[in-house]
């Protein structure tokens, strides 16, 4: 049996990386391949799910305690006798695990980049993290044997150019179960009734409330939309460290009646159906899976120019710079809204097909 140690996973519901890792587990684990996971804190529900297919999950110290994490991971690798490690990370600062794997002589060491920036809430912390990332990036690739990214841009954030442009690097796009997100008129009517949207222009965003996702800028854009469309509604799905701050900002802008906070949802495929336009003004992304889902739902999408163009899989996906005036964003949102129809895909949409990803994942190990 081949043994794989993958990480880092949260509670299985925390975001795109968790969803990707669980998909990896479901598609690759078998009688011949066992996949175990690293985490910083064990979620009991996830542990039971993994145990049902004889997979294990190990809690190790976070990066605030790098020496302890290093020792714990070396011990896990030594006792488990793993053949492969597969670490999905967002910054080169997360280098401890792959260093431990090399020191334990694990033959196949795979790094997968899922971001293109450090998601820190303060300028000082971002500056420090960016400095440490730049230093760690010079060393990180030396400890791996294979390299992946959710986009080329994500690869360039983590690895040297010579790696990204070599056959040792592979893009594995954030695939989506297309049928789950296909436009359904009856579901649209049902969800719009649930959310009391009536005939309002509905602008949607699904994201963690954090620095990366740029919610304050989104609120400023929406305030401009309201000047032209007073009936408009902004639907926000997600949780995060800035959740309370954004709710307070909405009150200060006197938009409480026009903004719906839905929190974390397990039915985002339904929520997309109720929207008229999807907006994602992120400061940076590896490749946003929500943008792919929204396009599979037939939604026009307005994304920031900081997001890689690899994310566009329909002609109704547009990019605007964060330096553009909010009125420009608002005009684009209003112009883009129209009758919901089934999506018409560009050829590169095939890159996000789940069956295609299954083959990539199986070949990876």
Domains assigned to the chain: 2-172 (3.40.50.2000), 178-348 (3.40.50.2000)
User: What is the predicted pLDDT for the residue at 20?
Assistant: 82
User: In the sheet that 277-280 helps form, which strands lie side by side, from edge to edge?
Assistant: 259-263, 233-237, 202-206, 277-280, 301-304, 317-320
User: What is the predicted pLDDT for the residue at 244?
Assistant: 96
Does residue 324 register a pLDDT over 80? yes
User: What is the predicted pLDDT for the residue at 222?
Assistant: 98
The mean pLDDT value for 98-111 works out to 96
User: What is the predicted pLDDT for the residue at 117?
Assistant: 84
Question: Which has more pLDDT, 178 or 160?
Answer: 160
Does residue 232 register a pLDDT over 80? yes
User: What is the predicted pLDDT for the residue at 187?
Assistant: 95
In order of 107, 236, 257, the CA distances from 86 in angstroms are: 11, 33, 46
User: What is the predicted pLDDT for the residue at 233?
Assistant: 97
Does residue 342 register a pLDDT over 70? no
39-78 pLDDT, tens per residue?
A: 998 888 889 988 888 899 999 999 899 999 999 999 999 9
Strands (E), the chain: 2-7, 33-39, 57-59, 84-89, 108-113, 146-149, 169-171, 202-206, 233-237, 259-263, 277-280, 301-304, 317-320
Least confident of 125-134, 167-176, 272-281, 349-358: 349-358
User: What is the predicted pLDDT for the residue at 163?
Assistant: 94
> SS3 string of 271-303?
HHHHCCEEEECCCCCCCCHHHHHHHHCCCCEEE
User: What is the predicted pLDDT for the residue at 347?
Assistant: 64
Instruction: Determine the angle formed by the axes of helices 215-228 and 243-252, rounding to 10 degrees.
Output: 30
Lookup: tokens for 177: 């179960």
Kindly report whether the peptide bond that precedes residue 203 is cis, defined as omega within 30 degrees of 0.
no
Q: Residue 175 — pLDDT band, cuts 50, 70, 90? A: confident
Quick one: what percent of the chain has pLDDT higher than 90? 64
**CB neighbourhood size of 338 (10 A):** 10
The mean pLDDT value for 6-35 works out to 81
Residues constituting the chain:
365
Sign of the Cα torsion 312, 209, 133, 88 reads: negative
The mean pLDDT value for 8-32 works out to 80
Question: Which has more pLDDT, 353 or 258?
Answer: 258
The mean pLDDT value for 102-114 works out to 95
The mean pLDDT value for 163-169 works out to 93
288-303 pLDDT, tens per residue?
A: 889 999 999 999 999 9
User: What is the predicted pLDDT for the residue at 45?
Assistant: 87
Sign of the Cα torsion 101, 136, 306, 243 reads: positive
Does residue 249 register a pLDDT over 90? yes
The mean pLDDT value for 268-278 works out to 96
Question: Which has more pLDDT, 193 or 172?
Answer: 193
Q: Residue 317 — pLDDT band, cuts 50, 70, 90? A: very high
Quick one: what percent of the chain has pLDDT higher than 70? 97
Does residue 145 register a pLDDT over 70? yes
């Amino acid at each position: 049996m081949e043994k794989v140690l993958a990480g880092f996973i949260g509670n299985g519901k925390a975001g795109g990386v968790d969803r990707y890792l669980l998909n990896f587990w479901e598609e690759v684990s078998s009688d011949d391949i066992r996949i175990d996971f690293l985490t910083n804190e064990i979620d009991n529900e996830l542990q039971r799910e993994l145990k049902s297919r004889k997979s294990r999950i190990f809690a190790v110290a976070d990066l605030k305690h790098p020496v302890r994490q290093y020792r714990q991971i070396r011990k896990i690798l030594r006792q488990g006798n793993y053949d492969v490690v597969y670490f999905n990370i967002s910054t080169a600062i997360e280098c401890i695990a792959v260093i431990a794997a090399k020191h334990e002589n694990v033959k196949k060491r795979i790094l997968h980049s899922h971001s293109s920036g450090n998601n820190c809430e303060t300028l000082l912390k971002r500056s420090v993290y960016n400095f440490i990332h730049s230093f760690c990036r010079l060393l990180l690739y030396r400890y791996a044997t294979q390299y992946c990214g959710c986009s080329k841009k994500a690869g360039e954030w983590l690895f040297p150019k010579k790696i990204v442009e070599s056959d040792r690097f592979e893009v594995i796009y954030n695939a989506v179960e297309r049928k789950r997100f296909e436009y359904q008129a009856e579901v649209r009517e049902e969800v719009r009734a649930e959310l009391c949207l009536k005939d309002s222009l509905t602008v949607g965003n699904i994201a963690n409330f954090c620095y990366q996702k740029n919610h304050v800028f989104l609120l400023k854009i929406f305030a401009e939309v309201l000047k032209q469309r007073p009936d408009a509604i902004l639907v926000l799905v997600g949780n995060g460290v800035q959740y309370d701050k954004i709710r307070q900002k909405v009150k200060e802008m006197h938009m409480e009646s026009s903004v719906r906070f839905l929190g974390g949802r397990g039915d985002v495929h339904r929520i997309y159906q109720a929207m008229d336009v999807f907006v994602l003004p992120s400061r940076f992304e590896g490749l946003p899976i929500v943008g792919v889902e929204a396009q599979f739902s037939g939604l026009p999408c307005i994304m920031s120019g900081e997001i890689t163009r690899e994310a566009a899989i329909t002609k109704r996906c547009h990019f605007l710079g964060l330096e553009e005036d909010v009125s420009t964003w608002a005009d684009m949102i209003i112009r883009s809204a129209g009758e919901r129809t089934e999506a018409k895909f560009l050829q590169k949409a095939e890159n996000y097909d789940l069956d295609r990803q299954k083959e990539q994942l199986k070949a990876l190990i």
